[in-house]
Structure 1
Amino acid sequence: MDFRSNRLTVSEAKEMDMVRFLSDLGHEPSKIRNNDYWYLSPLRDEKTPSFKVNRKLNRWYDHGLGKGGNLVDFAILYHGCTVAELLQNLSGNFSFQKPFTRQPLQESEPENKIKILRDFVLSSYALLRYLQQRRIPVDIADRYCREVRYELNEKVYYGIGFKNDLGGFEIRNPYFKASSSPKGITTFDNSANEVIVFEGFTDFLSFKAIHKHEPEDRFDFVVLNSVSFFETARLFMEKHNAISLYLDRDTTGQNCSRYALYLSSKYKDENSLYQNHKDFNDWVVNIGKPQKKNHKQKPR
C-alpha cells in the first residue's frame, strides 16, 4: 500500500513497531530482557522502569497505570489527541502536537513511607479553618473525611483524610498533600443511572455542599484521586447511562476528558462550568468574587 497517497487505517497504525515509535519520540529502553523492553513510563514521572513493551506481541503495558494496549491506545494517551487526529498526522514523526503531560509527583515523599497511626473525627482548628477557606462545610466533610495522624520520616503529622476503596487515604492540610498506601479510587454506589466523576476529593465535597438538599441517591460518584486511575474506574463508570466529568482544567485533566469522550458517547465534559478556574473547588471558592481585570486595557 502506498502510504504517501493514502492515510493509514487504524489496523495499520496498530501494527507499527512500538519500540521504534517510542525511539522516534525520544524514549529508549532502560533494560531489555528477551522480548520485553522496559522504559521509564512516557505517561508518568517515575524513577523505576515500569512501562513494558513486548516486541514480539508489539503491545505495551504500564504497570503504574494498570493499562496497556496497542500503539494507537498509547498514542492517543501520550498526545491527548483523537484517533482521527492521530491517523491524519501520523507520518513517521509525531511532533504535530504537544505530548500528553506526565503526571506530577504530588506526594512530597514516597507513599510507602507514610504510616497511618489513627483516624478520628475532624477536630483540629487548623484543618477546620482550611475547610472554611475552601468553602467546604464541616458537616459535609464530617460525612466523608476523617482526621488522620500519620508518621513520616519518624515525625508525626496530621491532616484531613479521605479514604479510598482499598483502605488508603488521600491526605490534605494547608501545607501538604500526600497519600498513604494502597492508592486507589473512591466510589459511592447509590444505584443511580448517572455517575459524577471528580479528580480530587475537595471537588467532590464542594459538589456535595452545593447539592446538599438533593436526594442522596440521585447520583453515583467516583473520585479518581489521580487521573492515572481513570482506567481503573472505567468498569464502575461505564455501567451507568451517563458519565459527567468534572476534572481539573490543567493539561492532564483536559487530555483525560478528551480521551473519555473518544471512548464513549456516555461521557460528558462539564468543565465549561468552571472554565476560568483550575478546578471545581476553585470555582466554588471564588463564586461572588470579582474577576481580575486586565489593567492593560484602556478605560472606556
Structure 2
Amino acid sequence: MNIKDAKSIPLDEFLDRQGYTGKLKAGRLWYAIREESHASFVLTRDRFAWYDHGLGVGGNIIDWPITYKNARDVSASIGYIAGVMGSGYIVQPDRVQFKKMEPELPHYTLVAVDDFEPYNRRELTAHAKHLASRGINPERAAPYLTDIKFALREDPKSLLYGFGMINEQEGYEVRSKLFSTSGYKKTTVGGKGVSVIRARNSDHKTEDWHTKTWLAFYSMMDFLTFITTDHSEIGTYNFIVMHGDAMIHKAAEYLNTLLAGTIHHYCHLDSNGNGQRAMLDLMGEMPDWKHGDMSYQYHEFKDMNEKHMYELKLDYRPAAGNTHRSFQNIQKPKPRSKKV
C-alpha cells in the first residue's frame, strides 16, 4: 500500500474496522473516539478528512495513526492503515483526493464567564467539591480558574456549566458534568490552545517574568495540584499548561517566540509511553532551552495528581488501560527495625 492507496480509503470504513461507530448528524458522521459524553470527532461529508474538536486538529487518513496511534512517520502510518484494512481490501484508485479539513467553528458556544467561586453560602460549590475530591485546594486554585456557562452550538437552549482555564486562543479548557449522570469530563469551549501564566510579584506586576524559570504541565489537574502543594514565593515561576499531550506543538510555537531559558517538565507516565514521548518531542522542538524532567517526583504513578491523591488516601482509580498500580495495591514501605 502506498500513500495514494491509503488516501483512497474512506475514513468511515477505516474507523469501523477499528470498532468505532459513527453517529450521523446534519449529514456528517460524529465519533466518540475517547471517553467523552458528546462526540467531538467529525468526518467531512465526503468522509476523506477529519477534525477533532477536543484536540483542535484535523487531517486525512495518513494523519490519523500519527495523531492517535503514535505512528512516528508516514511509512509507519501506512503500515498501520494496511494492518487495519487487511490484505483482502480492494483499493479504489479512482476516488478523488481531498485536502485536510480546515478548523471548524467551536463545538460549543460560550454564554458567560465569571470568577471561580469556591463557596455558596459557606458550602463548597459543586465545582469546588470536584476539585477537593482530587486533592486540590479550591481557594488556592480559584485565581487561575473561571466559572463557565456554555451551550451546544446545535442547541443553544441546552445550557451547560463547568469551570476552566483560559487559553492563548481566547478559548477555555473546561471540566464539566456534561450529563447529570456522568462525572466531570474534559472539553473545550472556543479555540483550543495552551494556557500561559506569567510570573507576577506581590504587586501583581510582571516586569521581570522573562527571567524566571518555566514549569510545563501537561494537564490542568497536575498544574492545580502543584498550586495546591507548592509553597514557593509568589512570582517564582512562569507556567505553561498543555491540556493534553497533543498540544506540545502549540506550546513550542509560543515558547520559541521568547528568549530561551529554563523549563521543567511534569509529563505523564502513561503505560504506553505517550506522555514521556510528548515531553521528548517538545524538548526536540526547543533545542536552545535548558530542560528538566521532574517526573522522578512521582515515578510510581501516572502523574502528579495521582500521587497526591494516594498520599491523601483519596478514592481514585487509574484510567482503564493504565498498568500503573492502583492505590489499594501500593504498599508504603515498612520502617526498618532498629538494631539493638
Coarse TM-score class (shorter-chain normalised):
0.5 to 0.7
Question: Where does structure 1 differ by over 6 angstroms across 4 or more consecutive aligned residues?
Answer: 74-78
Confirm or deny: 8 A CA contact 1:116 1:180 kept in the other structure.
no
Match for residue 155 of structure 1 among 137, 155, 158: 158
Confirm or deny: 8 A CA contact 1:77 1:259 kept in the other structure.
no
What CA distance in whole angstroms lies between the structure 1 residues aligned with 2:142 and 2:222? 15
Match for residue 175 of structure 2 among 172, 177, 181: 172
Q: Work out which structure has the larger RCO, using CA pairs closer than 8 Å and 6 or more positions apart in sequence.
A: 1
Gaps of 5+ in 1: 1-18, 32-43, 52-62, 96-109, 296-300
- Give the drift of 1:116: 2.7
What CA distance in whole angstroms lies between the structure 1 residues aligned with 2:215 and 2:196? 10
Confirm or deny: 8 A CA contact 1:65 1:229 kept in the other structure.
no
| Cα distance change of structure 1 residues 244 and 47 upon mapping to structure 2, 3 Å threshold | farther
What CA distance in whole angstroms lies between the structure 2 residues aligned with 1:262 and 1:158? 38
Structure 1 residue aligned with 2:329: 293
TM-score normalised per structure 2: 0.54
Q: What amino acid is aligned across from residue 210 of structure 1 in structure 2?
A: T
Structure 2 residue aligned with 1:13: none
| Cα distance change of structure 1 residues 77 and 183 upon mapping to structure 2, 3 Å threshold | closer
Confirm or deny: 8 A CA contact 2:135 2:312 kept in the other structure.
no
Confirm or deny: 8 A CA contact 1:50 1:64 kept in the other structure.
no
Q: Deviations over 1:147-195 (max 9, x none)?
A: 2222233322221121112221112146232210122111122323421
Match for residue 232 of structure 1 among 241, 246, 250: 250
Q: What amino acid is aligned across from residue 272 of structure 1 in structure 2?
A: Y
| Cα distance change of structure 1 residues 129 and 230 upon mapping to structure 2, 3 Å threshold | same
Structure 1 residue aligned with 2:300: 276
Matched, 1:121 2:116: yes
| CA RMSD across the alignment | 4.1
- Give the drift of 1:267: 2.9
What CA distance in whole angstroms lies between the structure 2 residues aligned with 1:195 and 1:66? 29
| Cα distance change of structure 1 residues 167 and 161 upon mapping to structure 2, 3 Å threshold | same
Structure 2 residue aligned with 1:186: 195
Gaps of 5+ in 2: 12-39, 81-104, 178-182, 199-208, 314-325, 332-340
Matched, 1:256 2:278: yes
| Cα distance change of structure 1 residues 130 and 241 upon mapping to structure 2, 3 Å threshold | same
| Equivalences, count | 228
What CA distance in whole angstroms lies between the structure 1 residues aligned with 2:330 and 2:138? 36
| Cα distance change of structure 1 residues 22 and 280 upon mapping to structure 2, 3 Å threshold | farther
Matched, 1:195 2:204: no
